[in-house]
Structure 1
Amino acid sequence: PDQASIFIIIMAYKVYPRVPSLSPYLTPEREKFTIWMKSLVFQTNGCTVYNSNGQIVFRVDNYEKKCSSEVYLMDLKGKVLFTIRKKKLQAFGGWVGYRCNNNNNNNNNINDDDQLESSDMINISTEEKPWFRVTRQYCKMLMGDLACHISVGCDDKYRIVRIAGKAVGFRIVNLDGKIVAEAKQKQSSSGVVLGDDVLSLEVAPCEDHSLIMALVMVYGLIRRKM
């Protein structure tokens, strides 16, 4: 390369010394998913998520225990993407999510301050701090359709909002009110409304599907649907 190219490369390295890797769950198009609030393991408690081609892309297997205080969002092959845990002694239904790092088996990086209900950290690889936190909003009279606050990292980033008049419908919106994801009770191609354990989820472009799905799982746990 010529000197100009070398200069550009050096400057780029100084400005962006560590280029973040893009998530394989980010796409530039709007994506649709079907969520079945059942595990494929003998149709026990959990969740199975299909993409628009009918392929399984995410799953949660709770087996015989419903509304577990710890669940794992996995891909089809069983690779854990997020560990989701309920916080102990949390007055407003708090949940934390850890994005899993499957290349690191050191579990000592979870802070004691998080006061998680379970101390069993075997075979769980996580980032140093929770990737996200979800706090349930109880006072519906004051907050209207607002169901949950969501912080990602240090930022208060999303809200989960109930859809008026819909028993199971909800939206995930950002602080500007823009819809990031919307879940509704699924209808068949002939217009027949399916059971309330089958949802249609539409996710906006350039959103991390794994994060959105983890938030959907938390909301399902809060509503005792899985």
Structure 2
Amino acid sequence: MTKVHPKAVINPSLVSSDQQRFYGETSTTSRNLNPVVLTVWKKSLLFSCDGFTVYDSNGNLVFRVDNYAGSNKSEVVLMDASGRSLLTIRRKRASITDNWLVYDGETTVNPRFSVAKHANFMKAKSLAHVSSTGSPKKKSLAYEVEGSYAQRCCMVYDDKRRCVAEIKRKEAVGGVAFGGDVFRLVVHPEIDSTVAMGLVVVLDQMFGGSSRRF
């Protein structure tokens, strides 16, 4: 893997020695006008944790998820490079379908949006529906996720059927192929990068297990 050195400060005593920091394709695109390409590593920087480590095209640490072993798997917190909570992602209790609520920061009241696993397996390309929250009459479809998370090939569409984010397998670098734990998240201007990464975390909760199909 291509090594990088993110500029975020991490306590070296908390980082396992085998976790090499790697980095994807270079990009000089504007965050305002063009897609942002992030490299997502499905691994925590900390010992005894699983989660995600996400870098931008300059090798800077952007997002992280650190779940301690034995911790509550029904709640995940997406953080920035400094460890500040951006989104709290919590599985909805007593839900017939696999349904997750996403809150701003560390709050667990007034969710920002909800993500429901698509239950109709006759339409396998549809993975999940993302809806704004509120009263049933005010709920509206915000995004539709299609593709295969297991294959790292997903598209996120808005209500106008525009592709706003993509999950893609990462191309080999220097002849070295990456596995499914390293992939790209392409974020288009129509969606916030934090929201897009929040959707990745939810998809991993829904479809990330070895026994799950999509």
TM-score bracket relative to the smaller structure? 0.7 to 0.9
After superposition, the CA RMSD in angstroms is 2.3
Q: In the alignment, does 2:62 pair up with 1:57?
A: yes
Equivalent-residue separation in structure 2 for 1:185 and 1:44 (angstroms): 24
Q: Please give the secondary structure, in 1, of the residue aligned with 2:201.
A: helix
Structure ID, larger Rg: 1
The 8 Å contact of residues 170 and 182 in structure 1, kept in 2 or not, is answered as: yes
- Give the Å deviation of 1:151: 0.8
- Give the Å deviation of 1:192: 4.1
Instruction: Tell me the residue number matched to 2:107.
Output: 125
Task: Identify the structure with the greater helix proportion.
Answer: 1
Equivalent-residue separation in structure 1 for 2:59 and 2:128 (angstroms): 30
- Give the Å deviation of 1:225: 5.3
The 8 Å contact of residues 164 and 190 in structure 2, kept in 1 or not, is answered as: no
- Specify whether residues 163 and 221 from structure 1 end up closer, same or farther in structure 2 by C-alpha distance, changes over 3 A only: closer
Residue 116 of structure 2 aligns with an amino acid whose one-letter code is T
Unaligned runs of 5+ in 1: 1-25, 101-123
Instruction: Tell me the residue number matched to 1:157.
Output: 142
Instruction: Tell me the residue number matched to 1:170.
Output: 154
Q: Which has the higher contact order (CA 8 A, sep 6+)?
A: 1
Q: In the alignment, does 2:73 pair up with 1:73?
A: no
Instruction: Tell me the residue number matched to 1:213.
Output: 197
Summarize the alignment of residues 179-218 of structure 1 with structure 2, pairs less than 5 Å apart. 179-190=163-174, 192-218=176-202
Q: Which TM-score applies when normalising by structure 1?
A: 0.70
Q: In the alignment, does 2:125 pair up with 1:145?
A: yes
Q: What fraction of aligned residue pairs are identical, expressed as a percent?
A: 34
Unaligned runs of 5+ in 2: 1-30, 134-138
- Specify whether residues 178 and 206 from structure 1 end up closer, same or farther in structure 2 by C-alpha distance, changes over 3 A only: closer
Equivalent-residue separation in structure 2 for 1:66 and 1:31 (angstroms): 32
Count of residue correspondences: 175
Segments ≥4 residues shifted beyond 2 Å: 26-29, 152-155, 188-193
Summarize the alignment of residues 12-161 of structure 1 with structure 2, pairs less than 5 Å apart. 27-42=32-47, 44-65=49-70, 68-100=73-105, 124-125=106-107, 128-141=109-122, 143-153=123-133, 154-161=139-146
The 8 Å contact of residues 66 and 224 in structure 1, kept in 2 or not, is answered as: no
Q: Please give the secondary structure, in 2, of the residue aligned with 1:212.
A: helix
Equivalent-residue separation in structure 2 for 1:171 and 1:192 (angstroms): 26
- Give the Å deviation of 1:206: 4.1
